[in-house]
Structure 1
């Protein structure tokens, strides 16, 4: 029956998962804008490996990140094809803005210890 502040901190710290890894995944997604998507690949692998091991709100971030990756692949591919008719340059920029907004919203919700909004949305 050790009721010292140190023992209570250990119990309390176990109730909330460490949000560092999902934030790293979001950062890898943002770095993917500069690296041509290479770091996004690393991020989605991390999300796949660590999903299903945490509380529901936390795992929803991994699901959101996985979905963001696959939607980004789709949107960037469509933009690449549209570059043949020059509108792809505009859509490419739109996809980059979409990716940044989605990652920032995810980080914000993660810091609030809440699941992301509209996980299944195709846009934002």
Structure 2
């Protein structure tokens, strides 16, 4: 029984690490890339409720990449800076909400959502 609990704690720790790496990625972009790799590696072996977190994290990375590319291109026209600011706030909110659900042992309600 202790082995099962320990394994579950490790799996939750990996998912939490991804959320933390995404937040660190706001300052050091490579951390976000490391985070998505961890999410891809752990997704298939995780229990169903934890797979929703990994799916949410993978979508967060790719949607965020889209926002960054769009914001970077449009930064020349000034509106891109607002898109990049939105991306930063969006990433923080998604990561914090994900960590809160993870700490409670809950799955992500809508892992395919684009917003929060």
**TM exceeds 0.5?**
yes
Q: 1:60 to 1:83 in 2, by over 3 A?
A: same
For 2:100 and 2:39, the matched residues in 1 are separated by 18
Gaps of 5+ in 1: 1-8
Q: Deviations over 1:7-58 (max 9, x none)?
A: xx626626x71111111110000001001x2100000000101111121001
For 1:34 and 1:71, the matched residues in 2 are separated by 18
Instruction: Find the counterpart in structure 2 of residue 102 from structure 1.
Output: 94
TM-score (norm 1): 0.86
For 1:11 and 1:42, the matched residues in 2 are separated by 27
Structure 1 residue ranges, 4+ long, deviating more than 4 angstroms after superposition: none
Give the number of the structure whose residues are more often helix, by fraction: 2
Instruction: Find the counterpart in structure 2 of residue 17 from structure 1.
Output: 8
Residue pairs, 1:42-53, within 5 angstroms: 42-53=34-45
Instruction: Find the counterpart in structure 2 of residue 80 from structure 1.
Output: 72
User: CA-atom RMSD, angstroms?
Assistant: 1.5
Instruction: Find the counterpart in structure 2 of residue 115 from structure 1.
Output: 107
The one of 22, 43, 55 aligned to 1:29: 22
TM-score (norm 2): 0.91
Structure number with larger C-alpha Rg: 1
Aligned residues: 114
